[in-house]
């Protein structure tokens, strides 16, 4: 096995004034004696990264039938692949909905939990290098975290996300495999599914180009091709998320949005979000490790506090 390789990055450190859901933080450097493991525990998928002395390891992802199996599978694989001993680990930081199922130290190691929206904000801000943005965490549903200067605040969310995509695909396409749906969508024509402004108006409406979606699925017929349906489902979910993110920014001067979570990997993001950028005059950013930002943020949450008492949720 090859020794663990770390990418050099500046540590994001701080803190920690939490008031009304806000977190203040600043940039510092801190030397952590051992490796800090950040784990984003989903219901069936777990993502894991390691941080030591300002260096972030290449993350991994494991899928299993339940959060406990997924967590321990990811942790064991990570240690094995990177030739890390248990005594090299200083802290294990858990976050995500599946973390609620974990009530004991992982393999006897010091273990704590990070609030998911804090982990979202820290990881996304760290990866994107943006400090005035709304983080759009596209999980089973979608949450929004406002990062404004040195403050972060969870500002809400919507019930549309990966779970919506999988559920609709299960009903309409007899599969919940999002990769399969994305591949089907590449062969589909969403114009056979959606109604555009050009379909209902002889000329553009104020602020609405002719190719703007007027109604998702309004053109769909009972004999629509599965490929067209797949294209329609994905476009509807991504458009809903992007439009909701823009609406969440109203009343502020934020024009940048950081997309994180598994849905950010969909190839259709490269089509849907640029169109929304033109429509709303905003910018969407997808960091390199977009699907791992929450795990990165969980690990950073400990480096922020150093050896101080961490939260036990």
pLDDT above 80 for 16: no
pLDDT at 142: 97
- Same domain? 122 vs 146: no
> What tens digit of pLDDT does each residue of 55-104 get?
788 789 988 878 888 888 889 899 998 888 999 999 999 999 889 888 88
pLDDT at 133: 97
Of residues 261 and 205, which shows the higher confidence score?
A: 261
- Same domain? 31 vs 153: no
pLDDT at 25: 42
Name the average pLDDT for the chain: 86
Q: Please give the residue range of the domain that contains residue 17.
A: 6-129+292-305
- Same domain? 89 vs 205: no
- Asked, for residue 69, whether it belongs to a domain, the answer is yes
CATH of residue 88's domain is: 3.30.420.40
Residue pair 143/279 in contact by the 8 Å Cβ criterion = no
Domain total in the chain: 2
246 by DSSP, 3-state: which? helix
The predicted model scores a pTM of 0.85
- Asked, for residue 80, whether it belongs to a domain, the answer is yes
- Asked, for residue 95, whether it belongs to a domain, the answer is yes
- Same domain? 111 vs 151: no
Of residues 152 and 188, which shows the higher confidence score?
A: 188
Pairing of strands 22-26, 13-19: antiparallel
- Same domain? 109 vs 139: no
pLDDT at 305: 57
- Asked, for residue 310, whether it belongs to a domain, the answer is no
- Same domain? 20 vs 161: no
- Same domain? 62 vs 163: no
Distance CA 119, CA 103 (A): 19
- Same domain? 279 vs 150: yes
In sequence order, what DSSP letters do the residues of 142-198 get, joined into one string? EEEEEEETTEEEEEEEES-SHHHHHHHHHHHHS---HHHHHHHHHT--GGGT-EEHH
Q: What is the DSSP letter of 205?
A: B
> What tens digit of pLDDT does each residue of 146-179 get?
998 768 899 999 999 999 999 999 999 999 999 9
pLDDT at 66: 85
CA distances from 114 to 96, 171, 181, 229, 280 (A): 8, 35, 33, 38, 33
């Amino acid at each position: 096995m090859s020794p663990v390789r770390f990418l050099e990055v500046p540590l994001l450190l701080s803190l920690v004034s939490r008031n009304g859901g806000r977190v203040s933080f600043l940039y510092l450097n801190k030397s952590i004696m051992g490796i800090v493991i950040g784990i984003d525990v989903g219901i069936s998928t777990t993502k894991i990264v390691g941080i030591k002395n300002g260096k972030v390891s290449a993350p991994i992802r494991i899928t299993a039938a339940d959060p406990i199996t997924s967590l321990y599978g990811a942790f064991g694989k990570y240690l094995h692949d990177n030739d890390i001993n248990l005594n090299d680990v200083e802290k294990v930081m858990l976050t995500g909905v599946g973390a609620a199922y974990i009530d004991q130290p992982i393999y006897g190691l010091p273990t704590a939990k990070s609030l998911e929206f804090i982990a979202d904000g820290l990881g996304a801000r760290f990866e994107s290098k943006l400090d005035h943005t709304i983080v759009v965490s596209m999980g089973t549903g979608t949450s929004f975290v406002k990062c404004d200067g040195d403050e972060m605040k969870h500002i809400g969310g919507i019930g549309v996300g990966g779970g919506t995509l999988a559920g609709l695909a299960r009903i309409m396409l007899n599969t919940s495999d999002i990769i399969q749906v994305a591949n089907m969508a590449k062969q589909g024509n969403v114009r056979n599914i959606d109604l555009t402004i050009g379909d209902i108006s002889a000329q553009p409406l104020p602020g609405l180009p002719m190719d703007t979606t007027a109604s998702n699925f309004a053109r769909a017929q009972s004999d629509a091709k599965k490929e067209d349906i797949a294209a329609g489902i994905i476009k509807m979910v991504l458009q809903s998320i992007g439009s909701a993110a823009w609406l969440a920014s109203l009343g502020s001067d934020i024009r940048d949005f950081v997309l994180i979570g598994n849905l950010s990997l969909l190839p259709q993001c490269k089509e849907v979000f640029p169109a929304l950028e033109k429509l709303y005059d905003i910018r969407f950013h997808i960091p390199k490790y977009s699907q791992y930002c929450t795990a990165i943020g969980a690990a950073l949450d400990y480096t922020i506090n150093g050896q101080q008492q961490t939260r036990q949720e």
